[in-house]
Amino acid sequence: MLIAGNWKMFKGPRETREFVRAFAKPDGVDAVVCPPYVSLAAALEGPVPVYAQNVHWDAEGAFTGEVSARMLLELGVAGAIVGHSERRQHFGETDETVARRTAAALDAGLAVIACVGELEAEREEGRTEDVLRRQVSMLDRHERLVIAYEPVWAIGTGKTATPEQAQEAHALIKSLVDVPVLYGGSVKPENAQELLSQPDVDGALVGGASLDPESFATLCRIGASLS
């Protein structure tokens, strides 16, 4: 069971140090935190593995604003999120660039949480399976690859997929590529037990509920109880 905290554009170095001092990970669960680039070094002062929120496909070059896998590894970062729905929505990320970032990061030695998921309109039109098949088809099985299923309509909206919807999507993804699959989309202590208890849900990619150390610890305890 993996519980990953995506902090998005929250917590500078000072707040990050406060978090890692306060957070106590329970036994029996894997946990990672994914802070902004400026807070990676501060997060690495704590005991929890650290992932970046994005990574470029080239080792170096004229790519202003990007960071390579080699740079992250030199810092001590263990992995990266790739293809989060907010990157797709706001920054032009595509299935092709997600695949390039994922392959480069894995080849360099990072772990990867690659995100997939449908828009609300796509679900209403009955195209969820088609979207997931298209997105997952760009990814190859790897021992350090984890996929996060994020129904886009549940990101930052307070909406959450039902446990049945999550299970159906996770089972489909696992039928396409044999890797662990996390659920992401307004996961919080109040709904985590029901979501994480589904047979094909292997953990959670958590947004807002990961910003508070006690909330994140509670999610980790729930995960540990189901491992």
Residue with tokens 């092709």: 96
- 56 has catalytic annotation: no
Q: Which residues contact 103 (CB under 8 A, 6 or more apart)?
A: 57, 140
158 φ/ψ sector (left φ>0, alpha ψ -120 to 50, else beta): left
Which residue, 55, 47, 38, is CA-closest to 19?
Answer: 47
- Given the candidates 1.10.4160.10, 3.20.20.70, 3.40.50.2000, 3.40.640.10, the CATH classification of the domain at 2-226 is 3.20.20.70
- Answer for the pair 46, 79: CB distance below 8 angstroms, yes or no: no
The number of helix segments (H) and strand segments (E) in the chain equals 10, 8
Query: Full-prediction pTM beyond 0.75?
Result: yes
- Pick the catalytic residue: 86, 118, 150, 170? 150
- Pick the catalytic residue: 56, 84, 122, 170? 84
- 90 has catalytic annotation: no
Q: What is the pLDDT along the chain (227 residues), one digit of tens a residue?
A: 999 999 999 999 999 999 999 999 999 999 999 999 999 999 999 999 999 999 999 999 999 999 999 999 999 999 999 999 999 999 999 999 999 999 999 999 999 999 999 988 898 898 999 999 999 999 999 999 999 999 988 776 777 788 999 999 999 999 999 999 999 988 999 999 999 999 999 999 999 999 999 999 999 999 999 98
Q: How far apart are the C-alpha atoms of 17 and 42, rounded to whole Å?
A: 6
